[in-house]
């Protein structure tokens, strides 16, 4: 008889379920839109699963040798976020990068024979780049946050201009993402080209907006990645609610500088006109 704990009681499973449910209820992840990958500590997973026992093996369609042995909980391809809380074993999976880095062992989940998100290569590329910058990095999250997406249709798509506008929309924005927001023009999703382009942006930013599509965010845990995207979305919501009306008041560049320095964040000084 196994002395392992029940996997559905694992904090990392519970947190992933809650995050998926919140993203769906906010209207960010319609149908099977959006995906999450969360890198786990082997010792934590080992309390619930035999980390050396694979249910089956799958191809990851990417050379992930830099992540060899790493374990992730990942949302499934074609799965609806609204269903994750009702059948997590079908809609989520725990995988371990193995072999030559082009394969992964399924340790749990994907119970209907499913696979990880089709964006998995893009996630893995971004994980690699973020880990080089921050060894405590753990999460990549992609979602279709509504107002951020809408903003890309009517706002200049330069990173400086887009970031400045968001910073001016809410006092907390420059504090939460002082490194700014990366932006990609519209690109075909689900392939290595957009994955490589996103990973390149992740060398500079913790966030990358996919114009007319959504956003990629990163973090040290699910709360940080979710909160980062949530704060961008709040700024974009305020911008969209202004809706072309004449702006009488704003947070001036000098005030943004004071704010950033008061909170001790390393902001992009070249994004301000001071």
pTM for the predicted model, two decimal places:
0.94
Predicted confidence at residue 4, as pLDDT, reads 85
Backbone angles phi, psi at 81, to 5 degrees: -60, -30
Predicted confidence at residue 61, as pLDDT, reads 83
Domains and CATH numbers, the chain: 1-117 (3.40.225.10), 119-274 (3.40.225.10)
Annotated catalytic residue, options 30, 42, 119, 172: 119
Mean pLDDT, rounded, for 140-165: 97
Q: What is the pLDDT of residues 155-168, one digit of tens each?
A: 999 999 999 999 99
Mean pLDDT, rounded, for 175-202: 92
Backbone angles phi, psi at 112, to 5 degrees: -95, 15
Question: What residues contact residue 66 under an 8 Å CB cut-off, 6+ apart?
Answer: 101, 128
Taking the C-alpha atoms of 186, 32, 226 and 92 in order, what is their torsion angle to the nearest 10 degrees?
A: -130
Helical H runs in 83-145?
88-91, 120-133
Radius of gyration of the chain (CA): 19
Predicted confidence at residue 258, as pLDDT, reads 96
Mean pLDDT, rounded, for 169-180: 96
**Helix/strand/coil percent split, the chain, to 5:** 40, 20, 40
Per the CB < 8 A criterion, the answer to whether 198 and 213 are in contact is no
Where residue 189 falls among pLDDT bands split at 50, 70, 90? confident
Predicted confidence at residue 57, as pLDDT, reads 94
Predicted confidence at residue 244, as pLDDT, reads 78
55 vs 272: CA distance, rounded Å: 53
Greater model confidence, 243 or 153: 153
Q: Is 223 helix (H, G, I), strand (E, B) or coil?
A: helix
User: What is the residue-wise DSSP string for 23-70?
Assistant: HHHTTSS-TT--EEEEEE-HHHHTTTS-TT--SEEEE-SS--GGGTT-
Mean pLDDT, rounded, for 1-9: 84
Q: Is 55 helix (H, G, I), strand (E, B) or coil?
A: coil
Predicted confidence at residue 246, as pLDDT, reads 87
Residue 60 has pLDDT above 90, yes or no: no
Q: What is the pLDDT of residues 101-125, one digit of tens each?
A: 889 999 999 999 999 999 999 999 9
Predicted confidence at residue 235, as pLDDT, reads 97
Residue 52 has pLDDT above 80, yes or no: yes
Residue 1 has pLDDT above 70, yes or no: no
Per the CB < 8 A criterion, the answer to whether 169 and 239 are in contact is yes
Predicted confidence at residue 101, as pLDDT, reads 87
List the strands of the sheet with 56-59, edge to edge: 56-59, 103-109, 92-98, 71-75, 35-40, 139-143, 214-219, 207-210, 182-184
Q: What is the pLDDT of residues 209-234, one digit of tens each?
A: 999 999 999 999 999 999 999 999 99
Predicted confidence at residue 36, as pLDDT, reads 98
Where residue 2 falls among pLDDT bands split at 50, 70, 90? low
96 vs 27: CA distance, rounded Å: 31
- Which token pair is 202? 């992740």
Question: What residues contact residue 12 under an 8 Å CB cut-off, 6+ apart?
Answer: 38, 40, 44, 45, 73
Our answer to whether residue 119 is catalytic in this structure is yes
Average predicted confidence (pLDDT) for the chain: 95
Tokens 């008061």 identify what position?
Answer: 262
Tell me the C-alpha to C-alpha distance, in Å, between residue 97 and each of 124, 172, 222, 249: 10, 37, 21, 51
- Which token pair is 192? 């290595």
């Amino acid at each position: 008889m196994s002395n392992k704990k029940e996997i559905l009681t694992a904090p990392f499973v519970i947190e992933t379920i809650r995050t998926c449910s919140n993203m769906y209820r906010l209207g960010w992840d319609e149908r099977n839109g959006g995906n999450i990958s969360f890198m786990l500590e082997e010792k934590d997973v080992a309390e619930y699963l035999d980390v050396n026992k694979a249910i089956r093996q799958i191809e990851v369609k990417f050379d992930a040798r830099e992540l060899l042995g790493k374990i992730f909980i990942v949302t499934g391809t074609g799965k609806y976020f609204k269903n994750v809380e009702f059948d997590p074993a079908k809609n989520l999976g725990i995988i371990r990068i193995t072999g030559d880095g082009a394969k992964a062992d399924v340790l749990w989940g994907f119970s209907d024979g499913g696979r990880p998100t089709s964006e998995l290569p893009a996630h893995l590329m971004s994980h690699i780049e973020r880990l080089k910058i921050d060894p405590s990095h753990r999460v990549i999250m992609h979602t279709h946050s509504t107002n951020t997406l809408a903003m890309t249709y009517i706002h200049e798509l330069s990173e400086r201009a887009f970031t400045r506008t968001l910073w001016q929309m809410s006092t907390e924005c420059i504090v939460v993402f002082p490194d700014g927001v990366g932006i990609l023009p519209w690109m075909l999703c689900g392939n290595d080209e957009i994955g490589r382009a996103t990973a390149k942006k992740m060398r500079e930013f913790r966030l990358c907006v996919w114009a007319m599509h959504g956003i990629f965010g990163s973090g040290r845990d699910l709360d940080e990645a979710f909160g980062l995207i949530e704060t961008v979305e709040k700024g974009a919501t305020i911008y969209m609610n202004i809706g072309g009306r004449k702006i009488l008041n704003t947070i001036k560049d000098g005030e943004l500088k004071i704010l950033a320095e008061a909170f001790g964040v390393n902001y992009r000084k070249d994004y301000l006109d001071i």
